[in-house]
Structure 1
Amino acid sequence: MAKIAVDAVLAVTDLEHQDVNFELIKVEGKVGGRLEDTTLVKGVVIDKTMSHPQMPKELRNAKIAILTCPFEPPKPKTKHKLDVTSVEDYKQLRQYEQDKFKEIVGLVKKAGTTLALCQWGFDDEANHLLLQQELPAVRWVGGPEIELIAIATGGRIVPRFEELTPEKLGKAGLVRELSFGTTKDRMLVIEECSNSRAVTILVRGGNHMLVEEAKRSIHDALCVVRSLIQEPRVVYGGGAAEIACSLAVAEQADLLASLEQYAFRAFAEALESIPLALAENSGLSAIHVLGEVKAKQAASKDSALGIDCMATGNINMRDQHVIESLRSKRQQFLLATQLVKMILKIDDVRQPNDGPGH
């Protein structure tokens, strides 16, 4: 999963501007399989299938029409009522609908479309006509997915059939239906797109809760990699950075003669709560271990010494390859400090009054 997170971010990174567009990374979850089956798809995965079971399950070099208009005859934009009083009128109306359907499908085919993606649904008649005309289609594709497909395939979102031209079609090397074992679940994968920067992480798991937890974990991992792209500097983890900062702040406190030294010492003590919590959670004697690491860091001036959470016998985080992004670490310290400052500014607390009339 760590490799998937790194590959996904690097696929959408603009290294020139050191920027990562998270809009191009879609994290899709599907219950079933194991967490190890989680994969990175260089393209877009949508939880849809072809609108008709007899439509082809795989398309090569697809030209995709991305439509936000429904496959149905236009209705007159009036508030008047239309009365059909005879069989001939009804047949005429039915013929108009059929002709209009054929005209719409004809417009889509004329543009050179080999796959139609529609944001709206269409009825069985339109579906049957699309099958007859050998035009595979997918209905009820969501708005965000439509946008992502447009970015990935280099196509344009078309709001009216009349506006569809060959230049507005998206291009994909492979469109296929992905099936999961013996279940009836299927998803549509659009790969080898003209703009391969859009990627999808397909998360698998035994149940819904596991999939959602994995999605959250992957999002955290993506954020860490993004932080490193935006500012490629790191500090050592395992509480090493906090202990180093604590020692530096305490050193400054010793140089002050004013009352401020107490604030400095309190800040230094507060910084130690992270390595203390790490040691406690690892089942170690927290105060004893922290004191030991502090003493060793102060003596050696090596800011890579931290809490040995994995019980390897080595407290050097450089050797254990435990690192954190400097950007996120700095942000943590800033937010915590600002929160405390905000609380300290409160000089009074409102009490609920339980007297009469309240």
Structure 2
Amino acid sequence: MMPGFGMQPQIILLKEGTDTSQGTPQLLSNINACMAVADAVRTTLGPRGMDKLIHNSQGKVTISNDGATIMKLLEIVHPAAKSLVDVSLSQDAEVGDGTTSVVILSGELLKEAKPFIEEGAHPRNIIKAYRMASTLAVSKIKELSISLGGTVEEKKDLLKKCAMTTLNSKLVSGEKEFFAQMVVDAVSKLDPVTLDLKLIGIKKVQGGGLRDSFLVDGVAFKKTFSYAGFEQQPKSFDHPKVLLLNMELEIKSERENAEIRLEDPAQYQSIVDAEWNIIYEKLAKCVESGAQIVLSRLAIGDLATQYFADRNIFCAGRVEVNDLERVAKATGARVQTTVNGLSAESAKSFLGTCARFEERQVGAERYNLLTGCPNARTATIVLRGGSEQFIDEADRSLHDAIMIVRRALKHSEVVAGGGAIEMEVSKALREHSLTHTSKAQLFIKAFAKALEVIPRQLCNNAGFDATDVLSKLRQKHGQTDGTGRNFGVDVNTGGVVDTYNAFVWEPSLVKLNAIASATEAACLILSVDETVRNPKSENPDGQGMPAGGRGRGRGMGRGRGMRR
């Protein structure tokens, strides 16, 4: 039947059961979801922030106040809120710190935009104003950042202050000075050009207190699986030669389907001897090279272990790849994949050395330590602590501090922390908004207000009156002579303090990346006006056909067959 005059034919575009939500209600729903995510991590911000205990279905317990860790473990399913997880992880990968700040800032930007959306403002206008405000905020931070100069020793002292600011908000804040020094010493060992993070090893050993943690100027790795004969090997050397291998040193059994045909039974012994001769030849070449320590990524069997013990050589098989790489960097040794060519004459080209090798008892574990390495491009931090959860959180805290010191070395510019930089940027944006006569004035002011969430949350988490402290901060930052621009929240007294003079410093890169990422996340969510959820197909082999489509076809075919 032809459609009537003025009627449009009905077009079915999406498969049956598809859920679509669109328009302003959907946008507000997405904003509410993101605000809920921000509220989940809000209380972890700052030196007085609380920790979250996350218990998963496997029974593993994680206690953390690291934003990226919490976001990863929360298993958020809301499609729009997942963008906040991504922005937190990108901040962690790019800078290493400020993961909580970026989530809170994204949530606050959306919260400030919500009333405008409800009143009918077009999201595109808000997005445009937010992006403009973000660009201005970034340029203001660059203008306010202070470069770290001076001698190497002075720079180390400044880097230590940056590390202490990062550790302030962590579980290990009680020993922040001890760990900040350790982190700066570890990062200083790295190649100044690459600053490869993989060359700093962090080993966790349960037992003891935090103060029992120590830094190894070289490489430390846990004693590997060992065979009989291991205890007869020497466990300490001075200036040993180190040989690194990526091969097995044990007798390899033939494949099950291997077949050897013999005409003379006497030949059988020669075949058995050949297997032994191959392994003995490999071991002899290792000894001939002059090495006193043999480390391999693959297994070193019981025969090889005893062989080396008889010749006063230390060996360890199944060494982790990262540990082997660090040993190579530290000692100057080159990993060998074959024993051919391992002679005393060419030893200099592939053997490494260190000042001291020893096997030491650390808690309940035994560790192999190589120290005083000539290349000194690597370091290992051995962490001690009471419980497994505590050591894991200490590991995450040190990772943040290492990333911050590493970034500060590459981009040696810092800004005042404690919410000072946010207040100063907020003031600048408020002043700039007055130059606009359009609705953008309101949106830029909203962005400026959103930035104040950082000092406000620092006050709330410390149990202070946020309204009172923010009023004092606005008064300080409002001074025309610019003397109050470095004032931030004093979490010790509940007042305000010049955070730059109090050495509460943060690399400007943290703030630049946080504001840019938070703005992008907020703009992304504001630009979504429809969510389409496709139904799960009931028939997994239907390949895109409506559920039950194939079933009906097969059923009809069978029916006809039966009738015939």
TM-score past 0.5 threshold: yes
* Other structure's SS at 2:489 match: coil
Q: Any gaps of 5 or more consecutive residues in structure 2?
A: 1-178, 537-545, 548-564
Structure 1 residue 305 corresponds to structure 2 residue 480 = no
Q: Distance in 2 between matches of 1:69 and 1:58?
A: 24
Task: Tell me the number of residue pairs that the alignment of Structure 1 and Structure 2 aligns.
Answer: 351
Q: Give the alignment partner of residue 156 of structure 1, picking from 311, 334, 345.
A: 334
> CA deviation digits over 1:278-307, x for unaligned, max 9?
110010111221122112220253211111
Deviation at 1:128, TM superposition (A): 1.6
Deviation at 1:35, TM superposition (A): 1.2
> CA deviation digits over 1:143-167, x for unaligned, max 9?
2222221111111110011132402
> CA deviation digits over 1:235-288, x for unaligned, max 9?
111111101010100011122212210111110011011111011001011122
| Aligned equivalent of 2:371 | 191
What letter matches 1:306 in structure 2? G
What letter matches 1:194 in structure 2? P
* Other structure's SS at 1:324 match: strand
Deviation at 1:23, TM superposition (A): 2.4
Q: Distance in 2 between matches of 1:324 and 1:123?
A: 51
Deviation at 1:94, TM superposition (A): 4.0
| Aligned equivalent of 1:279 | 459
Q: Give the alignment partner of residue 434 of structure 2, picking from 254, 259, 272.
A: 254
| Aligned equivalent of 2:289 | 111
The aligned runs of 1:265-344 (5 Å cut-off) are 265-299=445-479, 301=482, 302-311=484-493, 315-344=497-526
Instruction: Name the stretch that deviates more: 132-141 or 237-246.
Output: 132-141
| Aligned equivalent of 2:358 | 176
| Aligned equivalent of 1:26 | 201
Contact 2:235/2:314 (CA < 8 Å) preserved in 1? no
What letter matches 2:214 in structure 1? T
Structure 1 residue 130 corresponds to structure 2 residue 324 = no
Instruction: Name the stretch that deviates more: 97-106 or 279-288.
Output: 97-106
Instruction: Name the stretch that deviates more: 88-97 or 105-114.
Output: 88-97
Deviation at 1:74, TM superposition (A): 6.5
What letter matches 1:269 in structure 2? K
Q: Distance in 2 between matches of 1:125 and 1:226?
A: 45
Q: Normalising by structure 2, report the TM-score.
A: 0.58
* Other structure's SS at 1:163 match: coil
Q: Distance in 2 between matches of 1:264 and 1:6?
A: 39
| CA distance 1:30–1:88, change in 2 (3 Å) | farther
Structure 1 residue 206 corresponds to structure 2 residue 386 = yes
| Aligned equivalent of 2:543 | none
| Aligned equivalent of 1:230 | 410
Q: Distance in 2 between matches of 1:241 and 1:109?
A: 62
Contact 1:42/1:197 (CA < 8 Å) preserved in 2? no
When Rg is computed on C-alpha atoms for both structures, the one with the higher figure is 2
| CA distance 1:351–1:127, change in 2 (3 Å) | closer
| Aligned equivalent of 1:39 | 214
Deviation at 1:346, TM superposition (A): 1.0
What letter matches 1:70 in structure 2? E
Q: Distance in 1 between matches of 2:377 and 2:288?
A: 29
Instruction: Name the stretch that deviates more: 263-272 or 193-202.
Output: 193-202
> CA deviation digits over 1:58-101, x for unaligned, max 9?
01111111011111356779963237899855544443333333
Instruction: Name the stretch that deviates more: 333-342 or 49-58.
Output: 49-58
Aligned-residue sequence identity (percent) comes to: 28
| CA distance 1:158–1:105, change in 2 (3 Å) | same
What letter matches 1:270 in structure 2? A
| CA distance 1:292–1:38, change in 2 (3 Å) | same
| CA distance 1:126–1:85, change in 2 (3 Å) | farther
* Other structure's SS at 1:45 match: strand
Deviation at 1:56, TM superposition (A): 0.9
Q: Any gaps of 5 or more consecutive residues in structure 1?
A: none
| CA distance 1:122–1:318, change in 2 (3 Å) | closer
What letter matches 2:279 in structure 1? F
| CA distance 1:334–1:170, change in 2 (3 Å) | same
What letter matches 1:255 in structure 2? T
Q: Give the alignment partner of residue 527 of structure 2, picking from 323, 331, 345.
A: 345
Q: Distance in 1 between matches of 2:458 and 2:419?
A: 7
Q: Distance in 2 between matches of 1:308 and 1:119?
A: 51
Q: Distance in 2 between matches of 1:278 and 1:25?
A: 32
Deviation at 1:311, TM superposition (A): 0.9
Q: CA RMSD, aligned part only?
A: 2.5
* Other structure's SS at 2:401 match: helix
Contact 2:464/2:494 (CA < 8 Å) preserved in 1? no
| Aligned equivalent of 1:10 | 188
> CA deviation digits over 1:204-223, x for unaligned, max 9?
11122111111110010011
* Other structure's SS at 2:240 match: strand
